[in-house]
Amino acid sequence: MPVAATESFAKNTVAAIQEYSLLAGRAVANMFSPPIYWADIFTQMDSIGVGSLPIVILTGFFTGCVLALQSETALQEFGAVSRTGSLVALSMVKELGPVLTALMVSGRNASGMASELGSMKVTEQIDAMRALGTDPTRKLVTPRLVATVFMLFFLTIISDAVGIAGGALVSVAMLNLNATAYIHSSYASLAYGNIVEGLTKAIFSGFIIATVGCFYGMRTQGGTQGVGKATTQAVVVSSVFIIVVDFLTSRLMISIFGS
Amino acid sequence: MPETVESPKPADTPEDHTPVVVFDHVSIQFDRNPVLRDISFTVDRGQTLIVLGPAGCGKSVLMKLANGLLRPDSGTISVFGERIDNLPDRDLFKIRSRIGMVFQESALFDSLSVEDNIAYRLHEERMPESEAHDKVVEALHFVDLDHAIDKFPSELSGGMRRRVSIARAIISDPDLILYDSPTGGLDPITSTTIIELVVKQRDESHATSLVITHRLQDAFLIARNRFNPEANKMEEIPDGGIDDTTRFLVLNEGRVVFHGNTLELVHTEDPFLKDFIS
């Protein structure tokens, strides 16, 4: 019995990986052949990008604030409180901005995609779409993929900026640092490689959020209970993938640009 | 004894004897559970095939196979003379443009208005907006829902949703219409309204159709009635007549247990069928 269960689990896992790869591959390939559903892309950009703006701004801002506040104790030991700007900027741009933004967008949109597509699946709307001559991957997945990758890139930039601004506010108002010194320290510490690293992570994360969210939505089974399960799985899996890919990207970027 | 009545044929229909749908030894299983086993039948042009059977016998799966939404594990399926069981999705879209399908739970797109739902296929085909609107108005008039054009599916009753679904299926004048339990979950009066639309579509467009139902009374309504365009309503065929284009396919436990016309079904000696239709 345990052998059969292990075999079944292994087969299901391999089938799921194959299914995910095919879906992601088709979603990317659809970008390069007509028809391209521009209206759906812009609708998704509005929903995913503009809709996520408040949570991304709030998260980024307070992350920058707390980063400045917490780093003061450690930097004070080395007499380097003036380097707070540098620490906040590097942490935000390389790591916290892209990862936290991706996790917030994942929580909001991977779940949204899984539940929306899952509901369409269990109510036969996806079959109806195919019956009416439309490829659901082209109509539903590709626009979400394009919109998420594109908008997460800019959301990450916004998150970085407000994070650094939040750090500046705390440094000036609570740590009595000089605003000009903070900004100069932040600006001077950022190298081209740091920005490329952060934004590369945003692109990978956008891809993960959209493909994982749509994958779980498109394979939903079993009515409303299935929709709930798909939603949970989409958020959990995309969040874990984001962290794993963050590590791998960091390692790759260090090997390319150095530390 | 009732007689079969020949349905009026449109004057401009070219004679084409290629069956519209052919199932040849089709089997399919899900998770090692056989759902359909060795199913073979044909549906000729202009025929209405009523698919009957107990719940869970594979009727909806059969309908999805006929539209290429599922692929059989073995056997072949041809629609309009072309094999569809091995066609990639991209090539299937061309065949599906000649097929209209009414889904069990309507499957209307929640985020689109009634007009956009019905015109979905026309929009995909890049038809000019004014032309598409005119066709939507015509289709809504056919299903007697002229006032619902700006509504959303959530604002409609079950019967209205089903009628919008029929309008969406017939908007492009398909050669084959698949009705997957069009009366499922509806009250008897609304069911009769839906059956009237099926009969109206059969008698006005002469399109080939497959109708799944688990309600025998609906099946016999289709077989024993015709649409009167002057009175704009369905009426019984005089002298207990039976529409000659209507045939029956009865499934049980994934197998075909009957394929024939109304009279053959009514006079069957098969114990299961006698019990089923009693």
Instruction: Please tell me the predicted confidence (pLDDT) of residue B147.
Output: 93
Residue A123, min C-alpha distance to chain B (Å): 6
Which run of H or E residues covers position B247? Answer: strand B246-252
Q: A132, A137, A138, A140: best mutation site toward chain B, by most B Cβ within 10 Å?
A: A132
Task: Give the length of chain B.
Answer: 278
Cα separation, B136 vs B128, whole angstroms:
12
User: Chain A, 114-143: which have a CB under 8 Å from a chain B CB?
Assistant: 119-120, 123-125, 127-135
Q: B84, B109, B125, B170: best mutation site toward chain A, by most A Cβ within 10 Å?
A: B109
Cα separation, A145 vs A208, whole angstroms:
9
Which of A26-30, A36-40, A78-82, B166-170 is the least confident region?
A78-82
- B99 contact residues in A (CB cutoff 8 A): 131
User: Chain B, 251-270: which have a CB under 8 Å from a chain A CB?
Assistant: none
Stretch A191-220: mean pLDDT: 97
Which run of H or E residues covers position A36? Answer: none
Matching residue, tokens 């798909």: A230
Are B263 and B4 contacting, i.e. CB atoms less than 8 angstroms apart? yes
Nearest-CB residue to A127 (from B89, B103, B124): B103
- The answer, for A40 touching chain B at a CB cutoff of 8 Å, is no
Are B178 and B11 contacting, i.e. CB atoms less than 8 angstroms apart? no
- For residue A141 the two structure tokens come to 């997945």
Which run of H or E residues covers position B134? Answer: helix B129-142
- B89 contact residues in A (CB cutoff 8 A): 130, 135
Residue A53, min C-alpha distance to chain B (Å): 23
* Cα end-to-end distance, chain A, whole Å: 50
- The runs of H, that is alpha helices, within chain A are 2-29, 38-44, 51-77, 84-91, 97-105, 111-122, 125-131, 136, 142-173, 179-189, 192-218, 223-257
DSSP tag of B106 = B
Size of interface A-B (CB pairs under 8 A): 48
In order of A206, B129, B180, B200, the CA distances from A107 in angstroms are 12, 38, 37, 50
Q: pLDDT band at residue A13, thresholds of 50, 70 and 90?
A: very high
- The answer, for B168 touching chain A at a CB cutoff of 8 Å, is yes
Q: pLDDT band at residue A1, thresholds of 50, 70 and 90?
A: low
Matching residue, tokens 């600006």: A187
Instruction: Please tell me the predicted confidence (pLDDT) of residue A55.
Output: 97
Task: Give the length of chain A.
Answer: 259
Matching residue, tokens 């009167």: B228
The bridge status of strand B82-83 relative to strand B208-212 is: unpaired
Longest alpha-carbon distance in chain B:
56
Cα separation, B170 vs B109, whole angstroms:
16
Q: Do A134 and B103 touch (CB under 8 A)?
A: no
| Cβ contacts of A180 within 8 Å, gap of 6 or more | none
Which of A172-176, A196-200, B212-216 is the least confident region?
B212-216
- For residue B196 the two structure tokens come to 């009237």
Are B19 and B208 contacting, i.e. CB atoms less than 8 angstroms apart? no
- For residue B20 the two structure tokens come to 């519209």
Which residues share a beta bridge with A229? none
Q: Do B96 and A123 touch (CB under 8 A)?
A: no
pLDDT in tens, chain B (278 residues): 455 655 555 444 455 678 999 999 999 999 889 999 999 999 999 999 999 998 888 999 999 999 999 999 999 999 999 999 999 888 898 899 999 999 988 999 999 999 999 999 999 999 999 999 999 999 999 999 999 999 999 999 999 999 999 999 999 999 999 999 999 888 888 899 999 999 999 999 999 999 998 888 899 999 999 999 998 889 999 988 888 899 999 999 999 999 999 999 989 888 888 888 87
- A123 contact residues in B (CB cutoff 8 A): 105, 107, 110
Q: What is the CA radius of gyration of chain B?
A: 18
Are B56 and B40 contacting, i.e. CB atoms less than 8 angstroms apart? no
State the ipTM, two decimals: 0.89
Residue B104, min C-alpha distance to chain A (Å): 9
The bridge status of strand B74-79 relative to strand B82-83 is: antiparallel
Residue B219, min C-alpha distance to chain A (Å): 24
- A130 contact residues in B (CB cutoff 8 A): 69, 89, 96
- For residue A167 the two structure tokens come to 């750090």
Q: Do A124 and B109 touch (CB under 8 A)?
A: no
The answer to whether residue A6 scores a pLDDT higher than 60 is yes
- Residue-wise burial string across B146-173, b where 16 or more C-beta atoms lie within 10 A, e elsewhere: eebbeebbeebeebbbbbbbbbbbbbbe
- The answer, for B30 touching chain A at a CB cutoff of 8 Å, is no
Cα separation, A51 vs B52, whole angstroms:
49
Residue A169, min C-alpha distance to chain B (Å): 43
Nearest-CB residue to A124 (from B89, B93, B104): B104
Phi, psi at B159, each rounded to 5° = -65, -40
